Structures are given as structure tokens and as C-alpha cells.
């Protein structure tokens, strides 16, 4: 049996930073080459960063990406490298290059282009076909290696099956697979099935890091030809994982396959090397343990927030600390993302703010070790009331007065942002965004919405997780136990304006994330009046959500580039 030493470069590229990405690739390559690796695999479109979106419509960007690929290829020595880039002829292609010995010795063009959820690759790329990209294998260390890109591996009848039937003994699949909660187990099950079908070990490498609304969790792994995971990198961290992959003869498994022997002819073979470089003790890295579900979700929020700020040149953030559950969680995430010295909390009390909310915010700031200040909105709020009094004469105070307070707070936070260079983090959760329970140009103003894709009940669970992980009450218990309130009028509670979150969140999950109609949700047993009211609130709040900042996507369907509903429409069902 042959052993091939393979490196999985789980890296965090920045979209469009070709020079920075090239340095990442070269540094990882040098480390793998020094470790005696036969092969290193980088993530999908690692030259450009993923997803490059409309940058690829700029011919100069595509040219520069090809120059970066040529520079990387020239840097290669004995260790072969699979690297993602944008290829072109008459069309553009999401492609992988095999680089070794200072040159590109072969390319592969992605054949299955996803066009659902957050993906719109058919907007930019043409799929590879036998006509424009005949499949071939690469002999590396005496092993016949095939390469595919991301979505290609999800189809049981995709190019992996053709490569296996054509003689592949190892498959390398490079990915830019965005995270959503508990997605990693589904990936591993699917890849294990493909490996069993092909009787071929599979190297699955994924990128890590945040890109606008998306966060990539890494979690790269290797499965053997029987579908067993033999190596797994941790989630949410950069990692160069080196593993010796045993390549057993595949004929026995294929001969015993009840589906019959493959009748395809062998694929063309590009010779790279005949002998493996693996020497000494066999390298088998420890299997990274799957994360606790709430740690996984929390870490995704931290990484997405850190990268959005870092990659956009921000070092500090400012948060309106109300003493409520949402701003509390955002402050915790920001502190873990940036460090306490870079987080600034502002209490902005009004005549309706409770004493416990002010004290809870202060205690949280003390526990986190962040900067904390108090700026009352009363002078600004009263000034607005005085200015508007002639126009509002004879009208009863109502929602407008509540929204004025929120907008006073938004102005203060933006003033601090403008003066200090701090990015404002908004604190609205998915439940509130869904039903429009936020003030446009008020508590929705800011640069990044950390928990915009986290339903309210999960906000509570994450706060409990923070205290469990710390082994102490970082978050004051009163924040978790008190009834949620915007505190914009006397004795206000959320459940005076909305159904209890225990009722609301399951309906929102069905209506927003699973695309059920109101009628279908009612048929499942949910209250008729509540469902119709919630569906209407979601529909009429679309115009408000469009004006909200981006935030971390952690669910299978998030508001933003994922869920794309028309603002103006007349469908009600």
C-alpha cells in the first residue's frame, strides 16, 4: 500500500486582496513542502477569496488573478498544490490548478455551479464540460489523484464518480462552503457516502473566516475509502493539517461492489511523481472534536464579527448597552472578537429607563472589562418634544414618542462613531427584525448587525452558554431572567406588542426559514390569529430590513442576500 502525505491548508483569505492571499498561500506551501508533503490543497478560489462576486466582471481583476496564480506556480517545488482561481477563455470559470515544479501542469473547471440560497455562481461562471475541460488525473507519489471543486462532490453522479471509474485512487475537493448552524455533520455524512461509492479516500478542504454576511467554519477533513473520518481540523481557526493518507488497492472493493464493475476507460494521466515523499513515522493528526452546538454558534458570531471589522480596517466598536439581553450578547461577542480594550459600551438612559437596567449594563461592562460611559438622552428627547409640540398639538403621545428616544440614541452612537472611528454594532435579533420590532434610523443604525440571524430564544441560550463557558456569571443573572423590554414607555414589555417568543419564534422559523405559507403553518396547529398577524408583520417590515446593516449568517436562511423577498407584492396566504 502507498502512503501519500497531504496537507490541508484551511486558510482565511480576503476577497480581492490578491497580494495578501498570495502570501498566505506561499507561506502555507513552504511549510507543507518542508514537512515532506506530496500534495497540498487550498480552498476554492483561494487566489481571489470567496465569493468574489462582481469583482470578476472587471477584466483587470481577472488578469491580476491569473498573474497571482502564475506567481504561485513559479514558487512551487516538489510538493504539488491544488489552488483555486478564476480561469477564462471566452467565458469565466471557477477553477482549480495543479501546480508543481514551478508551473501549472493541469486545470479543472467546476462543473456544478450552485445557484440557490447565498450562491449565484451561474451569474458569473460557465460550468466545465468534457468539451471545454476534459477530465484528467494526476500521478502524485505513484497515486492517481483527481480534483473537484465544492458543489461537484454533492452529486452522486458528478465528476467524482467519473474520476473514480476512470482510475482515481484519491480525490481532492476544495471548498468555499459557508457555515450555518450544525452544518458540518451533514457535510461529513455526504462526503463519507461519496467515498464509499467511489472506494476512494477524499480530502475535503474548506476555507475559514468571515466575508460580509457569510462566515466559513473550516472543519476540513479526510475520509478513507470506506467513509471513515481519519483526520479533522478544528472549526473557526486557521490550520495547516498534515496527514499521511494510506492508499490501499481499490480493485477488491470495486470488484465486490453489487453495482458491478466500472466499464469506463481510464482517464488521461499527467505524471508528476512516482514515489511518495512520506518518510519516518506515519503522521495521523488528532481528530478535532465537534463543538458543543452553542459554542459552535457563538464562535461563528465571534469570527464573523472579527473578520468584518478587521478586513474593513476597524479596530474598535461602540455598542448601546441597555442592560437587556440583546446588547449584552453583542457586547460579549465583540469582546471575544476584539478584546476588551477595543469595545466601548454606552448607557443612554431616558425618563423610562429602570434602575436595574442601568445597573445591569454597568455590571456587565465591569465583568467584561470594557470601556463604559453614560450619556443621558433626556436633553435631546425633550428638545425634540419641544420642537414638535406645535405640530403634534392635540395628539396623544404614542409610538412616535417611543421612536424619538431610539433615534436620539442612534444619533449619539453615530456621533461617537464619526468622532472616534468606532464602528457601531447594532443589537437587534432575528425575531425583532422579522416582525419589524425596531426603529428605523434608531436602534437599527450602525455598521454591523451581530445577531441579526439569531432568534430571541437562542439569544437567551447563548447568554447562558457564555456564563457556562466562563464558569461564572459574566452576564448578570438578572439580564437573563427579567422580562424583555424596550423601556420606551412606563412598564413596557415585549409581550405587550408581540406574542411570547416561545410562540413567535417557531412560527418565524417556519415562515421565514422554511418558506411555509401562513395557511400551512395554521394547518400544523398554530393559532390562526397569531399566525396571520405574524405573517403580516414579516411582510410589511421588508422595506425596513432592506435598510439594515449586514450581519453574520448562521441559519439556513438569513435576511439579506439569502432571503430575497420583494418589498412590493400582494401575495397573502
| Active site (annotated) includes residue 44 | yes
| Active site (annotated) includes residue 110 | yes
- Name the DSSP class of 104: E
d(CA 98, CA 109): 12
d(CA 299, CA 316): 19
338 sits in which H/E element: helix 325-338
- Cα angle for residues 401, 405, 406 (degrees, 5° grid): 115
Q: Which of these is catalytic: 44, 169, 296, 509?
A: 44
DSSP letter for each residue of 366-406: HHHT-EEEE---HHHHHHHHHHHHHHHTT----HHHHHHHH
d(CA 244, CA 400): 66
Contact 103, 70 (CB under 8 A): no
Contact 358, 347 (CB under 8 A): yes
Extract the C-alpha cell encoding 308.
468584518
Q: Which of these is catalytic: 37, 79, 99, 110?
A: 110
d(CA 53, CA 298): 27
- Name the DSSP class of 166: T
Distances (CA, A) of 157 to 64, 168, 240: 35, 15, 31
Q: Which of these is catalytic: 150, 332, 408, 463?
A: 150
- Gap between the terminal Cα atoms of the chain: 61
Q: How many helices (H) and strands (E) does the chain have?
A: 17, 20
d(CA 378, CA 257): 76
β-sheet with 229-232: strand ranges across: 229-232, 221-223, 202-206, 170-175, 143-149, 137-140, 269-271
Sign of CA dihedral 326, 328, 329, 335: positive
Place of cell 481528530: 287
d(CA 521, CA 525): 7
Contact 185, 220 (CB under 8 A): no
Question: Which phi and psi (to 5°) does residue 189 adopt?
Answer: -60, -45
Place of cell 474520476: 163
Contact 106, 82 (CB under 8 A): no
| Active site (annotated) includes residue 408 | no
With 0-12 / 13-18 / 19 or more C-beta atoms within 10 angstroms meaning exposed / middle / buried, residue 148 is buried
The residues carrying an active-site annotation are: 44, 110, 150
Amino acid at each position: 500500500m502507498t502512503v501519500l502525505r497531504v496537507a490541508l491548508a484551511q486558510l482565511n483569505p480576503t476577497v480581492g486582496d490578491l497580494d495578501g492571499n498570495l502570501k498566505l498561500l506561499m507561506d502555507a506551501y513552504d511549510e507543507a513542502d518542508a514537512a515532506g508533503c506530496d500534495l497540498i490543497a487550498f480552498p476554492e478560489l483561494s487566489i481571489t477569496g470567496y465569493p468574489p462576486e462582481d469583482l470578476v466582471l472587471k477584466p483587470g481583476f481577472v488578469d491580476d488573478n491569473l498573474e497571482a496564480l502564475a506567481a504561485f506556480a513559479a514558487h512551487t517545488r516538489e510538493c504539488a498544490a491544488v489552488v483555486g482561481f478564476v480561469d477564462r477563455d471566452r467565458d469565466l470559470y471557477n477553477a482549480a490548478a495543479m501546480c508543481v515544479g514551478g508551473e501549472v501542469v493541469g486545470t479543472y473547471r467546476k462543473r456544478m455551479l450552485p445557484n440557490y440560497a447565498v450562491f449565484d455562481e451561474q451569474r458569473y461562471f460557465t460550468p466545465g464540460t468534457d468539451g471545454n475541460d476534459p477530465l484528467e488525473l494526476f500521478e502524485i507519489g505513484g497515486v492517481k489523484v483527481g480534483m473537484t471543486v465544492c458543489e461537484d462532490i454533492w452529486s452522486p453522479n458528478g465528476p467524482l464518480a467519473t474520476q473514480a471509474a476512470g482510475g482515481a485512487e484519491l480525490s481532492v475537493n476544495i471548498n468555499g462552503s459557508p457555515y450555518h448552524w450544525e452544518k458540518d455533520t451533514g457535510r461529513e455524512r455526504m462526503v463519507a457516502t461519496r467515498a464509499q461509492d467511489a472506494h476512494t479516500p477524499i480530502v475535503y478542504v474548506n476555507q475559514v473566516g468571515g466575508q460580509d454576511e457569510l462566515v466559513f467554519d473550516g472543519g476540513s477533513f479526510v475520509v478513507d475509502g470506506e467513509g471513515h473520518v481519519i483526520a479533522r481540523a478544528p472549526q473557526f481557526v486557521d490550520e495547516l493539517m498534515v496527514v499521511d493518507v494510506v492508499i490501499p488497492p481499490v480493485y477488491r472493493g470495486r470488484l465486490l461492489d453489487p453495482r458491478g464493475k466500472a466499464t469506463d476507460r481510464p482517464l488521461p494521466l499527467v505524471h508528476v511523481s512516482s514515489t511518495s515523499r512520506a518518510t519516518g513515522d506515519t503522521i495521523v493528526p488528532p481528530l478535532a472534536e465537534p463543538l458543543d452546538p452553542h459554542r459552535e454558534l457563538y464562535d461563528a458570531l465571534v469570527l464573523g464579527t472579527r473578520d468584518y471589522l478587521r478586513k474593513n480596517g476597524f479596530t474598535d466598536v461602540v455598542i448601546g448597552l441597555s442592560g437587556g439581553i440583546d446588547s449584552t450578547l453583542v457586547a460579549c461577542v465583540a469582546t471575544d472578537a476584539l478584546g476588551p480594550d477595543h469595545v466601548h459600551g454606552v448607557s443612554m438612559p431616558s425618563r423610562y429607563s429602570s434602575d436595574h437596567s442601568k445597573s445591569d449594563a454597568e455590571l456587565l461592562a465591569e465583568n467584561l472589562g470594557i470601556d463604559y460611559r453614560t450619556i443621558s438622552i433626556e436633553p435631546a428627547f425633550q428638545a425634540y418634544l419641544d420642537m414638535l409640540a406645535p405640530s403634534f398639538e392635540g395628539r396623544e403621545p404614542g409610538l412616535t414618542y417611543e421612536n424619538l428616544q431610539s433615534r436620539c440614541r442612534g444619533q449619539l452612537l453615530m456621533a461617537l462613531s464619526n468622532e472616534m472611528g468606532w464602528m457601531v454594532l447594532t443589537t437587534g435579533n432575528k425575531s425583532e427584525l422579522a416582525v419589524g420590532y425596531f426603529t428605523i434610523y434608531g436602534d437599527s443604525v450602525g455598521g454591523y448587525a451581530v445577531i441579526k440571524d439569531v432568534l430571541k430564544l437562542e439569544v437567551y441560550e447563548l447568554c447562558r452558554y457564555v456564563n457556562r463557558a466562563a464558569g461564572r456569571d459574566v452576564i448578570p443573572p438578572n439580564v437573563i431572567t427579567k422580562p424583555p423590554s424596550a423601556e420606551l414607555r412606563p412598564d413596557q414589555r415585549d409581550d405587550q406588542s408581540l406574542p411570547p417568543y416561545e410562540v413567535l419564534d417557531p412560527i418565524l422559523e417556519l415562515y421565514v426559514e422554511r418558506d411555509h405559507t401562513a395557511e400551512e403553518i395554521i394547518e400544523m396547529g398554530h393559532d390562526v390569529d397569531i399566525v396571520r398577524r405574524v405573517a403580516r408583520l414579516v411582510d410589511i417590515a421588508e422595506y425596513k430590513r432592506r435598510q439594515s446593516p449586514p450581519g453574520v449568517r448562521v441559519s439556513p436562511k438569513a435576511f439579506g442576500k439569502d432571503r430575497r423577498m420583494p418589498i412590493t407584492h400582494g401575495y397573502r396566504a
